[in-house]
Structure 1
């Protein structure tokens, strides 16, 4: 297979590229390096099955590929809120361009959607049938609504043009190659603990998240792409932790002198987030295997090297 991975130099994309190249697939990596880093895929430079193209998916591109893994879009609030119009354009125009490419070359396309399409959910945990509770004019809407319209585009292309789509709704993911200053809770807490800075919890720490290790997540994406399922499909870890519990686990693991401080909760920050993954278990025979303790060990060791 000739694979196109958009956002391939990013956190998720680079791990996906590792998996594909390790089984001798051909890979074209597309990235504009807004949040991606060339160091993430540097080891593949010069490999006969790997090609790197600097490109922004907002602009069309002509390529011959069999499969498209469309991951391109900043995923952390710090980055997607730094230029919200750019984020909206990436979600809409980027997905539009990739769907157009998929239609032209008759490629299967997997779109990396997000649990953020559920917004601040009124139903807990969240099944794929839940339509969400999203503020369309809030500071997170560029990302939340961007992913929602991108899903709409996918299904319209499937209905109108019989484009082969796969839609994955990705829940909180962590692991090596996260950016130290990307504002996500796992990387924030680890970096703060390693440098003995205060651990910043927004709100009272009772809000919950479900953390999926990156290897499990990538295996889920591959399972969905290789299946006959269209989705949308929740891909995430249903083990639920409060933000305060996460902070305490990381502090204990690092044996840090950092103290926890509490700051105001940002606008529209979800209070609960946990996937129902019955469909993934039943249809893909997929479920996460790496528990939080093991995943955090690997992630902490990575940040020790980076810092």
Structure 2
């Protein structure tokens, strides 16, 4: 059993599985509910304790993990009313597994350092399925010493841990990673529409690209929806994809980098969300791009 007491804020699609693996590996775990109580009740049934607020989580913990939607939510969890900050003590570590803007990450790290608290970023790649199985990819921004302290806990839910640099580097890499992934999603969607309009069905596209040099894990989950209509193949929403592409655009602009492909990808997701489809999952972008062109991939 681990000696560190662990807190977890954000037990949603990804966080539920991560927290499940932490408590099942023997760590004392404290969680708090947001809107959905089912994950909290499941975790309590596995041995976790429930706290009434992020502040109460901090008071009961030595290391606190955050896994929420984006930067505004991270700031609210740390600095909001009854946020973590009110319950922090010197020597604690906060590990932010959200996809957040590196500028906020570095600001929070600097602010909390004055309290003797370490803030590091450890965003995730892969899906809720891998979170549940404990095989996520984790990109960590931290010092060597701080990573060494939190590594045993991250090991509970990670298949790969990649140390990409100091605090802020994890979130930078996560945004770049999601730019590549969402770029694939936009490209696949447009390719399917062009092919369909010219007499090649999605099964034909899948047969040619699948198993070839253009195949990859993302291709497989994306086309599991396109071909098999498995709506749970890749549970990442179009609105989250749009948010991440806005973060990418902001990061590129702040660093003076031309980002023309990023703008095109961002606008693809922006159009889908603007039409009320933000709650749909990323592979469903294929249906939206087809519809914009007067096509139906199922015909």
**TM-score (norm. length: structure 1):** 0.45
Larger Rg: 2
TM-score for the superposition, normalised by structure 2: 0.46
More helix by share: 2
Q: Larger relative CO (CA 8 A, sep 6+): 1 or 2?
A: 1
